[in-house]
Amino acid sequence: MEFVNQRILDFYQKTTEELTDWAPLIHPEDREAVVSHWYASIATGKPYDQIHRVRRADGEWRWFHSRGLPLRDASGQIVRWCNLLVDIDERKKAEEALRSSQRELSVIIETMPGLVWCASPDGELSYVNGRILGYLGVERNNLLAGGWAHFLHPDDVASVVAAWSNSVASGEAFEVQARLRGADGAYRWFHSLSQLGRDTEGNPAQWYGVMIDVDDRKRAEEKLEQAYLRLAETQRLSKTGSFITDLLVDDHNWSEEAFRIFEFDPATKVTVKLIRDMVHPEDLQSFDAVISRGLDGEDVDFVFRIVTPRGALKHIRGVICVTEQVAGRPLFIGALQDVTQSKVEEEQVRRSEAFLAEAQRLTRIGSFSWRVEDNEIRWSVELYRIFEFDQGLPVTFDLIGSRVHPDDLPLMSDMIGKAQSAANHLEYQHRIVMPNRSIKHLHFTAHSRRDPEGRLEYIGAVQDVTQRHLAEAALATARAELANAAKISSLGVLTASIAHEVSQPLSGIITNASTCLRMLERDSPNVDGVREMARLTLRDGKRASDVILRLRALFSKKEFAREPVDLNDAAREVIVLSLTDLERNRVILRTEFADDLPLAPGDRIQLQQVISNLLRNASEAMSAVNDRPRLLQIAIRPHPGRQVCLSVADAGVGLDSERIDRLFEPFYTTKSNGMGIGLSVSRSIIESHQGRLWATPNEGPGATFSFSIPAIPQGVRE
């Protein structure tokens, strides 16, 4: 460093000697580039030119433009470097502010809810924002190259192109409404506005335009226009006339429909007295009250009867609203509707409701509605009577639960859960306990629907079936006693048959064995005689074995009618027949049937006997369960190996895993009053269908009994 001017010394507040070590004065982010560039210039002799920041004496960093030029002697050797530092900090800040402003403007243009575009003074597109490209689904270069009219609705092309050409030629503002096709192929209405920008000398510079989506507004305007067109027709069809009235001066402006309702000539001068003269005598007092309230400036809603000039009685409903009041003078706008037909229908409805209430009382059936969203429950009079609640008492599930039998509360919880999951149909039987401790049996049924606001609700009925239940219970008892007697009789016959068939060969075996012993005990054993007795013993043993085989054939080898069976349909029929017993045992039944289940060849009646036996066993297995819901699940689904499988799972006392195999033995039973034949016969039926019947303990309480049988092969018809 040989020389620095005073401005540099003042800027850095350093001496020339101190400025020899100038690198630390460069901003750390710029230092490496400045130093390397400086030494590269020294090495190559090329001029030095850099923009960087340096630290002023007060610590502020400022931008400088540094330029260095080499001085050479006559031989071209560099003898000295001259460097010029120009403070450009203000310019740099202005440039950064400009870039920031440009970025902000770009963000505004790209994010504003409109399609922004620019065009040259001669009308050629020069810029479009991202929203235009996104809506049209095209690349920027493709759109700027021309052809924007291609995206206009065919019906709008001619008018838009003509308007744009006129604006370009005249420089006047451009404003149109047209439909533009989006990337999805749908057309939407846009309001397009554009102004021609000029430079400082007033010369055309550029067109600036924006397109605003007004499709929703246009459609709303179209609907409003249609509504106005339909208003007159609506009045005619709805028998509703409109009017404007100034009661203080008794001035009435009626629509054509209002004249028709009162059967006045449209040229008639309407007055309050004219109307009053037609009012039914019994309604004059209420009519006068309406006029008085109207004069006081109140909105009025009224109903009265009139007698027309031809003697017809009509029911008129009117609505009057204050629309303007000047100097204490109310002006009303209102409507008059002929509601004669609805009044007649209301009277018919009241009569029907009375008939329905009486019918409900006679049949002991109460009706209800339940809106799930807010648990609003409405009961008929008969339902209050069934539950013996005071009529009008707000109904809640807690109130209902206070009557439900404790053992049936799980059924109520199950019903509420299914209803909240939008089940289509609900049907239950449960008991309620009355204040005098008597028990009623109720049959509950309901179906779901959506109200006008889309909320889920249930409409249903509850019937007091106590008498029927008692009768069915008595009948069931009689049937059970008869069935038990039949079982005992059948067992006796079966036992006698087995004893008769087996006793003779067994007696022969015993006699032959005794004879053998006597022959062997002699001093000289009769070997030939013993041999003969052994042969006879084998003969009688084979005879006893044949008896047993014939008994097995009775259950396992019987011929059956072979036909395609839909196991889903067969199970549904059994469930329908078993519902009464299941409900009497408070069993909650759930089904899970697979769709597109293949058919299986077999005897439908025999398979239904197996299903019925499994359902009955599952129900009886839960008869002593009171600490949890008596849940019975029946599932039907495809099984590996082109089989169909039916499973019945209960929540009963479960199975002893060591005795599972014995369950299917004849006459083995775990029931106190069982015969031990049902599962044995069921297994014989399934095995005769080339299938398998088995039982497994559940992970929780209860057990699952399952059987699988072959399905009809694909492409085979039976």
Work out the burial of residue 467: count CB atoms within 10 Å of its CB; fewer than 13 is exposed, 13-18 middle, 19 or more buried: exposed
Query: What confidence score (pLDDT) does residue 300 get?
Result: 84
For the stretch 102-153, pLDDT in tens is 677 666 666 666 788 888 899 888 888 888 888 888 887 777 766 788 889 9
**Looking at residue 557, what DSSP letter applies?**
S
For position 497, what pLDDT does the model report? 47
Q: What is the pLDDT of residue 559?
A: 53
Q: Give the mean pLDDT of 310-315.
A: 88
Instruction: Identify the weakest region by mean pLDDT among 71-85, 172-186, 570-584.
Output: 570-584
Cα–Cα distance for residue pair 202/553, rounded to 1 Å: 115
Q: Between β-strands 313-326 and 61-72, what pairing exists: parallel, antiparallel or unpaired? A: unpaired
What does residue 458 show for φ and ψ, rounded to 5 degrees?
-120, 135
Q: What's phi and psi for 64, nearest 5 deg?
A: -130, 150
User: Which pLDDT belongs to residue 84?
Assistant: 93
pLDDT tens for each residue of 172-228: 999 999 999 988 999 999 999 999 988 888 888 889 888 888 888 888 888 877 765
Average pLDDT taken over every residue of the chain = 82
Contacts of residue 654, Cβ cutoff 8 Å, sequence gap at least 6: 697, 698, 701, 702, 703
Cβ 170 vs Cβ 163: under 8 Å: no
Contact call for residues 549 and 589 (beta carbons, < 8 A): no
Q: How far apart are CA 700 and CA 708, in angstroms?
A: 23
Give the Cα separation of 429 and 415 in Å (integer): 11
Look up tokens 């539950």; give the residue. 387
- Residue 95 pLDDT: 81
Q: Sheet holding 240-246: strands in order across?
A: 251-254, 240-246, 329-338, 313-326, 300-307
Most confident range (mean pLDDT) of 78-92, 225-239, 460-474, 560-574 is 78-92
Residue among 212, 20, 217 nearest 116 (CA):
212
Determine the pLDDT at residue 486: 44
| Per-residue pLDDT at 700 exceeds 50 | yes
Task: Give how far the C-alpha of residue 99 lies from the chain's centroid of Cα atoms, to the nearest Å.
Answer: 52
Q: Which CATH number fits domain 6-94: 3.10.180.10, 3.30.450.20, 3.30.450.40, 3.40.50.1370?
A: 3.30.450.20
CATH number for the region 112-219 comes to 3.30.450.20
Q: Which of 57, 65, 59 is nearest to 11 (CA)?
A: 57
Residue indicated by tokens 């008492």? 393
Q: Specify the higher pLDDT residue, 354 or 257.
A: 257
Six-digit token string for 646: 């039916």
| Interval 228-247 mean pLDDT | 74
CA atoms of 128 and 441, how far apart (whole Å): 77
Phi, psi dihedral angles at 172 (to 5 degrees):
-80, 160
Q: What is the mean pLDDT of residues 156-161?
A: 92
Residue 516 is encoded by which pair of tokens?
A: 């053998």
Q: What is the pLDDT of residue 543?
A: 59
Specify the CATH superfamily of domain 345-464: PAS domain (3.30.450.20)
Pairing mode of beta strands 174-181, 125-128: unpaired
In eight-state DSSP terms, residue 26 is B
**What is the signed CA dihedral for 290, 295, 296, 298, rounded to 10 degrees?**
50
The pLDDT value recorded for residue 599 is 92
Token readout for 453 is 């606001």
Write out the E strands in 582-650: 588-593, 600-602, 631-639, 643-649
Strand 588-593 to 631-639 pairing: parallel
The alpha-carbon radius of gyration of the chain (Å, integer) is 51
- Lowest mean pLDDT across 22-36, 165-179, 230-244: 230-244
Beta strand 300-307 with 439-450: parallel, antiparallel or unpaired?
unpaired
Fold of the 239-338 domain: Beta-Lactamase (3.30.450)
CA distance 682 to 483: 19
Q: From its phi and psi, is residue 76 left (phi > 0), alpha (psi between -120 and 50) or beta?
A: left
What average pLDDT does this structure show over 318-345?
77
Which stretch, 83-87, 469-473, 479-483, has highest mean pLDDT?
83-87
What's the pLDDT tens digit per position in 381-414?
Answer: 888 888 999 988 898 989 999 999 998 888 888 8
Q: Enumerate the H helices of 121-255 as residue ranges.
A: 130-136, 140-144, 157-170, 215-238
Identify whether the C-beta of residue 419 lies closer than 8 Å to the C-beta of residue 426: yes
Cα dist. 15→31, 84, 353 in Å?
A: 21, 18, 112
pLDDT at 490: 45
Residue-wise pLDDT for 119-130, tens only, equals: 889 988 888 888
Cα(64)–Cα(52) distance, integer angstroms: 6
SS (H, E, C) 253-272: EECHHHHHHHCCCCCCCCCH
Alpha-carbon distance 705 to 535, whole Å? 46
Tell me which of 208-222, 565-579, 673-687 is least confident.
673-687
Rounded to whole angstroms, the Cα distance separating 708 from 691 reads 5
**Rounded to the nearest 10 degrees, what angle do helices 527-556 and 466-521 cross at?**
160
Q: In CATH, which superfamily holds the domain spanning 563-710?
A: Histidine kinase-like ATPase, C-terminal domain (3.30.565.10)
Look-up of token digits 């003898």: 79
Which of the 8 DSSP states describes residue 390?
Answer: P
585: three-class secondary structure by DSSP: coil
CB 341 within 8 A of CB 253: no
What's the pLDDT at 489? 43
Whether 369 contacts 458, CB under 8 Å: yes
Reported as a pLDDT band with limits 50, 70 and 90, residue 158 is very high
pLDDT at 261: 87
Task: List 332's β-bridge partners, or say none.
Answer: 245, 322
The strand pair at 456-464 and 425-433 is best described as: unpaired
**648 Cβ contact list (under 8 Å, min separation 6):** 611, 614, 615, 618, 632, 633, 634, 704, 705, 706
Percentage of residues of the chain with pLDDT beyond 90: 25
Question: What pLDDT digit, counting tens, does each position of 265-287 carry?
Answer: 888 898 989 989 989 999 999 88
Average pLDDT over residues 613-637: 90
What whole-number percentage of the chain has pLDDT above 70?
Answer: 85
| pLDDT value for 467 | 84
Q: Beta-carbon neighbour count of residue 395 at 10 Å?
A: 19
C-alpha 293/C-alpha 300 separation (Å) is 7
Which is nearest to 236 in space by CA: 254, 252, 253, 256? Answer: 256
